Amino acid sequence: MRAVNGLHVLLVSAILCGMVQTAAGQSSAKAEVLAALAERDKAFVAGDETKVAQFMSEDYLQTDVSGNIQDKQAWLNEYYRPMAPLLKSGETRWVTFDRSDIVVRDLGDTMVVAGKQTIKHVGVNPWNPKVTTPPDSPRAPLTLRFTHVWIKRGGAWKLAVVHNAIPTERK
């Protein structure tokens, strides 16, 4: 009977140890992805096109708030390249660029990150340079919901899918 109890203790200990290691691994992966997101956001706000592109997987896809789907090159060319030099020069700057209500789902080498983002830029409009928003503009920040899919490739977390949506008010 003692051998059986000893075996049970050993078995339960092994299972619990495995659960702790799995939980620790998941929290570590979650922390890695959140750190990658923060680093990518920092590069984005600074106009660092090279670093932003390095965080994107080669098969990246984004659905923007208007429902347009862009691959990596289309997103860089149509969205970020017009903005990056203006951010670097200070002609455009983000006065609000915050993420909140973040939820992370760990699926192994894939992580899903969802939450709320509040953004507002001032200065030259990157897509219509004839329009400039003054720093004291009363225009409210834009709040959107986002879902990111991050994948682990070559030991690094890469952003593979982005979906952004502007929530409508519920009546």
Cβ contact 59:73 at 8 Å: no
* pLDDT at residue 10 tops 50: no
Q: What is the pLDDT of residue 96?
A: 95
Contact between 88 and 64 (Cβ < 8 Å): no
Q: Are 120 and 139 in contact (CB under 8 A)?
A: yes
pTM of the full predicted structure? 0.81
What average pLDDT score do residues 131-157 get? 95
The pLDDT mean for the chain works out to: 87
Residue 1 pLDDT greater than 50, yes or no: no
Task: Write out pLDDT tens, residues 32-90.
Answer: 999 999 999 999 999 999 999 999 999 999 999 999 999 999 999 999 999 999 999 99
What does the pLDDT look like over 143-152, one tens digit per residue?
Answer: 999 999 999 9
The pLDDT value given to residue 171: 63
The amino acid that residue 43 corresponds to is A
CB neighbour class for 107 (10 Å; exposed up to 12, middle 13-18, buried from 19): exposed
Above pLDDT 70, what percent of the chain? Answer: 84
pLDDT interval class at 21 (50, 70, 90) = very low
Give strand pairing partners of 4.
none
Name the least confident of 18-22, 29-33, 104-108: 18-22
| Cβ atoms of 164 and 149 closer than 8 Å | no
The Cβ-side half-sphere exposure at 31, using a 13 Å CA radius, reads 6
pLDDT at residue 13, rounded to an integer = 38
- All structural domains of the chain, each given as residue ranges with its CATH number in brackets, are 2-165 (3.10.450.50)
**pLDDT of 135 higher than 70:** yes
pLDDT of residue 26: 54
Model pLDDT, residue 126: 86
